[in-house]
Structures are given as C-alpha cells and as structure tokens.
Amino acid sequence: MPISLFARLSLPACLLATCLLTACSSPPLPFSRLSGLITSGELDEISGIAASRAHDDVLWVHNDGGNPARLYAISRRGRLLARFDVRGAKNIDWEDIAAFELDGKHYLLVADTGDNGGQRRDFVLHVFEEPATLEPGSLKPAWRIRARWPDGPRDCEAVAVDAASGQVLLVSKKRRPAELFSMPLADPGNAFVEPRRIGRLEGVPEADAELQRSDPKLAKLFPHVTAADISPDRSTLAVLTYGSVLFYRRVGDESWADAVARPPETHDVPLIPQAEALGWSAGGGGLYATGEFNPAPLFYLVPQG
C-alpha cells in the first residue's frame, strides 16, 4: 500500500499533532473532531468504514487485502465490539464498504476491487444482510456481483451504493482524471456484469508546488482516490483522496455523472495516516474517516454546505 502523507511523523508525534490540532486550534475545513482512537491489534489496515443502519452508534470496518475475510463492528469511539467471519468469500483486496437499505432490510456491500499491480480484469462485490445482533459469529453473502472491467484492469478503492436507483458507483484510484463507473446493484446470478463508465471527476486537487518540489513521490499519491460514499439523502457523493475530502452535490434529480462534472467542495484531510476509509453517519450529518494504521485516529467530519 502507498505510504501515508503523514508517514514521516513518528506515531507519538502524529497522535500529539492530532490532539493539538483538535483541541488547541481552529481545525481545518471541513470541521473535524477526534471521535475516537482505534487501538485493537486486529485492526491495523482499515480500508473501509460504514455506519450501521441496524444498530445505533455502530460502525462497520474491514482490513485490507491479505487479511482474514472478516467484518468488525466498532463504536464511534473506536472500541472493538464484535467480529464476524465471512463464509464463502476471500479477502483478495477488500477496499471499501457501504451500508444501505433495500426492501426494508439493512445490507452491507464489501468491494473486493483493489488492484495495486493492475492485473485484475475481474472483481467481486459481496452483499451481506446486516447481523441483527452484535454477538460474534459468521456471515454468508446474500448475493455476489461478479464484474469485469470493460477495457482492462484498473485499481479501484472507492465504491458507493445508491440503493434508490439500484446502482453501485465505482471510482478509479490512479487514473487522472478519476473515472466514475456505474453498475447494477441487483443480484445477477452467475452472470458477469460489466461496469459502465459514466463520467470523470472534476476538480480533484493535486499536491501543491512545495510538496511536488520536496517529495515528488508523495505528491504523485496526493490525488489518488481511496474511498467514496453517498449521503443517506442521496444529495452528495463524498470522495476521499490521500490529501483531500471532496463533496460532489447533486442539483435536484440530476445524475451522478452530471454532479461530478462540476468542481466539488474541497477540504484538506485531517491528520489521518494513510487515509483510506470514509463513510457517512447513518443520519447523514457528517462522515467518519480513518486509515491504515494502528492505533488509528477516528475522525468525524462535518461538511459546510
């Protein structure tokens, strides 16, 4: 995985800077506060986060590829509440998770879409019904969506669900400008689905001149898209990069393709080592964000619009 923009800070220095930023100065926009700290040794590569629709104040997270196929429930403070082993699925490269409601039931979609080496033409989305209780146990996918990119492999770490329109949105990680794809959310059975490119993201910030001069390698990573989520009211697509949080807002019932064609509301990422996880709260008032590190700060972000 790419190094964090803050990897050059030691852990104590990073946490101290985070606390000082939160408590002693005006935080960067969007307004951010430290919600908690994830300290469990089992959660050292979090690459996806989603707020539960079935349990108040519960967040679902998972680790990156190469780790066990397992979902974890944590509190808003970062405390590990429960773990669920996944039956019938491998964690090849899990990169994002989305929570949604469909036909009166609560679901979680896990995206096995990562491809650092650019070699995976195929990928899979696993859909689980949310557990009714937080008693540790196991989960089996309610359905899977097997898919194949239309024009060759690409890395993708950002996946969002618009259940009302029956679609899944996917954003490419390294392409510039980042590409937006759409595919059906419905169970396709044994058939492969081909995502359809519907647009490109306007206004994804690049690294500033100082960072490009001082650390070109880090500057190249700055605009890479690492997570995405759609607000519960379907008005806003939030996108995370290593350097920015972006808000693409829809006007009326326009398409997501039209929404991302306009420059977004853009803000700096708070001090999150390797920021790769972003998800709206269940009420839609803000977003939770964290990264691949341990211990990892858990931030709550409130957009300004």
Tens-digit pLDDT profile for residues 26-76: 444 447 899 999 999 999 999 999 999 999 999 999 999 989 999 999 999
The structural domains of the chain, with segments of one domain joined by +, span 11-302
Average pLDDT, 10 consecutive residues per value, the chain (305 residues): 42 45 44 93 96 97 95 98 94 97 97 91 97 94 96 95 98 95 97 97 96 92 97 97 96 96 93 92 96 94 83
pLDDT at 22: 42
Q: Decide if 226 contacts 276 (C-beta within 8 A).
A: yes
pLDDT at 20: 39
Write out the CATH class of domain 11-302. Answer: mainly beta
> Residue 8 contacts by C-beta under 8 Å, 6 or more apart in sequence?
none
Q: How far apart are CA 53 and CA 107, in angstroms?
A: 8
pLDDT at 305: 64
Closest CA to 292 of 279, 274, 278, 269: 274
pLDDT at 271: 81
- What is the value of pTM for the model shown? 0.90
pLDDT at 7: 42
